[in-house]
Chains A and B, each alone.
Chain A
Amino acid sequence: QVQLQESGPGLVEPSQTLSLTCTVSGASISSGTYSWSWVRQPAGKGLEWIGHIYISGTTNFNPSLKSRVAMSMDTSRNQFSLRLSSVTAADTAIYYCARAHGSTSIRWFDPWGQGTLVTVSS
């Protein structure tokens, strides 16, 4: 059974960089045609896709966040990571990692990590 687990600081100061890691168990992030994704959800609001990374290293980001986002993979640790720079209070949210699979034109997310709350505050 594939499981994903987010980790990282729960509190980040404004203008600093948010860094999160997703550890995958039960499957290798190096196998298959999956994309490894980050999705966030502000309190009481809907789901917002942040971006994803393929094992090839190819990334794609939400245009509204693209200038501040970076993603990477560490296959030796079976992890992938998110960095979001210059954070503001608007970046306060629950951050989920998820695996997307399907074809190049039809993809869905399964499974999801349990999520981690990141608060941006001084």
Chain B
Amino acid sequence: SYVLTQPPSVSVAPGETARITCGENNIGSKSVHWYQQKPGQAPVLVIYYDSDRPSGIPERFAGSNSGNSATLTISRVEAGDEADYYCQVWDSSSDHPVFGGGTKLTVL
């Protein structure tokens, strides 16, 4: 069983780069997906297969995954990026998803 560990909060100034991590032993062997959830809204997929972006997601959003940590990187952060971000993997042995606890991104 997987337990995905995310920092509760990350703060960054506008125009800077935000990095949100998702940790689990040997997570690099899994595919990690990321969701953005703005206040009062449903989650939106921003990264899948570690680093692929769905259509409509800005290139400022990038993902990487290696070793024991996956990272969502948001470049040139804007006020509109302020949201909760969740990582997710699929536990194929149990056929169910595992979500991280979520990270609140604050744009200072």
> Inside 8 A of B33's CB, which chain A residues have their CB?
108-109
B30-45 toward A: CB 8 Å interface, digit per residue (1/0)? 1101010000011111
Q: Would you call A60 and B102 a contact (CB within 8 A)?
A: no
Q: Assess A112 versus B96: contact at CB under 8 Å? Given A46-B101, A107-B90.
A: no
Q: Separation in Å of the A48 CB from the closest CB of chain B?
A: 8
Q: Would you call A105 and B92 a contact (CB within 8 A)?
A: yes
Q: Would you call B42 and A113 a contact (CB within 8 A)?
A: yes
Residue of B nearest to A94 (CB): B42
B41-52 toward A: CB 8 Å interface, digit per residue (1/0)? 111110011000
Contact residue among A104, A107, A110, A112 (Cβ-Cβ distance under 8 Å from B97): A107
Q: Separation in Å of the B44 CB from the closest CB of chain A?
A: 7
Say if the beta carbon of B69 comes within 8 Å of chain A.
no
Question: How many A residues face the partner with a CB closer than 8 A?
Answer: 23
Looking at chain B's contact residues, the main secondary structure is loop
> Inside 8 A of B21's CB, which chain A residues have their CB?
none
Contact residue among B42, B94, B101 (Cβ-Cβ distance under 8 Å from A112): B42
Q: Would you call B48 and A108 a contact (CB within 8 A)?
A: yes
> Inside 8 A of A109's CB, which chain B residues have their CB?
33, 35, 43, 45, 88, 97
User: Footprint of B on A, CB under 8 Å?
Assistant: 37, 46-49, 52, 60, 62, 96, 100, 102, 104-115
Nearest 3 pairs of A and B residues by beta carbon: A105-B92, A108-B33, A110-B45
User: Footprint of A on B, CB under 8 Å?
Assistant: 30-31, 33, 35, 41-45, 48-49, 54, 86, 88, 90, 92, 94-97, 99-102
